[in-house]
A and B are shown apart, each in its own frame.
Chain A
Amino acid sequence: MNTQAKFAAALLDPACPCPSGLKTWTGGDPARRFQVYRNNVVASLIDALADTFPVTLELVGDAFFRAMAGVFVRGCPPRSPILAFYGDDFPDFIGSFPPAAGLAYLADVARLEYLRVRAFHAADSMPIGAAELAGVLADESALPGLRLRVHPSLSVLHSRSAVVSLWAAHQGIGSLAQVVPSEPETALVLRHGLEVDVIEVSPAAGECIAAIVEGLPLGAAVARASSIDEAFDPAGVLGLLLQKSAITALIPSRRES
């Protein structure tokens, strides 16, 4: 192994001794100085995760979070120098991390936090105007085949836990003691203007939006939502997307049915 490979290996593995070939001007032991690098690597990456997952941190407390993140950092260091997106697989890691198994909702809260970061940095896209949408009403028969392109920041998270309520309680909205963590909730995450919104929607509404994001035409998207809740009315979803400037293009069908 060359100098750099040895140095790199010892950064993440505390069981590795201080690499050989280092020296200090006093002739003393360089190990403690090497610690500066080791500490900075691990601590700065844990800090990056703490920035991305602040509610996850609050839920388990600083000591537990930093220890858990430390295990993750050593096993899964960033593969890219862009730290904004470091930790995309941290929620999965939490879900399979035995010491956190008692908190069934923790991984999904982390997923929600990651979706917020993703939304925050997502590409900008101009919404269509209400007039454009009103225009498609002129040809009613084309509506089921119409596809909506939505804002790149938008995503849906179906959770078996009360992710939105848990997250919101940490923003001073609602009381944590009132939240039943095992209550399933569906979250819609999107950026509206410069702000990231987290909105709780019904599971059927979430399914409809997810289908739209996947590129399904309106008719099929609504059908998918209706299979979850036969009383599903798309007016709420469409109104919400419009209100949040989340519809960015209308793509007419290629004329089949």
Chain B
Amino acid sequence: MNTLPRKSITAASLALALGAALSTAAVTAHADDKMADKEKCYGVAMKGKNDCKAGAGTTCAGTSKIDYQGNAWNLVPKGTCEKTASPTSPTGHGQLAAFKEKKA
């Protein structure tokens, strides 16, 4: 078993890389195409999650409990996942059938 890289990591090669890095960093645009296009940032929604309000009142899901270990779970993901291609699924939408607990 030979897991050693064929090209050894020499001080000289690191110096070369670092030198190159310094010059590319100075020229802001980055060459690596994989890195370039997706790094556009959309800041994390800046929300403070702690507050002292009360929400929902008496009419919401505080009491409805869907038990996925029984057979009560009948929800299917119905979001943007339906738009993704899934090669493993004959429908092209992944396996989104309602989850049913297997009976022992």
Residues of A within 8 A of B (CB): 14-15, 32-33, 35-36, 38-44, 47-48, 51-52, 54, 57-67, 70-71, 74, 81-84, 86, 97-103, 106, 116-117, 119-120, 130, 133-134, 136-137, 140-144, 164-166, 168-171, 173-174, 176-182, 192, 194-202, 218-219, 222-223, 226-227, 230, 233-243
Main secondary structure of the interface of A (DSSP, over half): helix
Q: Tell me the total A-B contact number using a CB cutoff of 8 A.
A: 245
Residue tally, chain B, CB below 8 Å to A: 75
* Structural contact, B62 and A59, CB atoms closer than 8 A: no
- What chain A residues lie within 8 Å of B3 (beta carbons)? 227
Q: Which residue of A lies closest to B5 (CB)?
A: A226
* Structural contact, A143 and B15, CB atoms closer than 8 A: yes
Within 8 A of A (CB), among B1-59: 3-7, 9-12, 14-22, 24-26, 28, 30-32, 34-35, 37-45, 47-50, 54-59
* Structural contact, B62 and A39, CB atoms closer than 8 A: yes
Within 8 A of A (CB), among B47-91: 47-50, 54-66, 68, 73, 75-81, 83-88
* Structural contact, A230 and B7, CB atoms closer than 8 A: yes
Instruction: Pick the residue among B14, B16, B39 that contacts A218 (CB under 8 A).
Output: B14
Instruction: Pick the residue among B18, B56, B61, B81 that contacts A133 (CB under 8 A).
Output: B18
* Structural contact, A60 and B30, CB atoms closer than 8 A: no
